[in-house]
């Protein structure tokens, strides 16, 4: 018979399920130096959301790829505008 186990207290390997200020800071740091303006990163219902403006569609796509590489498995949604 299996008994229910409580969830672990420490960090897990899966994506974060809530607000993670350290992860948001790592994403912002990774995006530095790109042609982005007024970049913000936040968690909305477990999804890492990028907002701001990108200099081109290519830069916007690169920002998405960069955020995904840093996001530890969390889904990423890019709501940045181009221009």
Phi-psi region of 61 (alpha: psi -120 to 50; beta: other; left: phi over 0): alpha
Per-residue confidence (pLDDT) for residue 38, from 0 to 100: 85
How far is the C-alpha of 57 from the C-alpha of 54, rounded, in Å? Answer: 7
Per-residue confidence (pLDDT) for residue 14, from 0 to 100: 46
* DSSP code, position 6: P
User: 């590489």: which residue's tokens?
Assistant: 69
Name the pTM for this structure: 0.74
Domain coordinates of the chain in residue numbers?
A: 35-82
Q: What is the pLDDT of residues 41-61, one digit of tens each?
A: 998 988 999 999 999 999 999
The greatest distance separating any two alpha carbons of the chain, rounded to the nearest whole angstrom, comes to: 60
Q: What is the pLDDT of residues 3-24, one digit of tens each?
A: 555 555 544 444 455 678 899 9
């Amino acid at each position: 018979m299996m008994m229910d186990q409580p969830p672990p207290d420490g960090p897990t390997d899966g994506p974060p399920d809530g607000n993670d200020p350290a992860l948001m800071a790592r994403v912002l740091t990774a995006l530095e130096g790109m042609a982005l303006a007024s970049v913000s990163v936040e968690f909305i219902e477990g999804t890492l959301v990028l907002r701001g403006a990108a200099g081109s569609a290519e830069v916007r796509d690169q920002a998405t790829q960069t955020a995904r590489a840093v996001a530890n498995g969390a889904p990423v949604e890019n709501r940045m505008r181009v221009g």
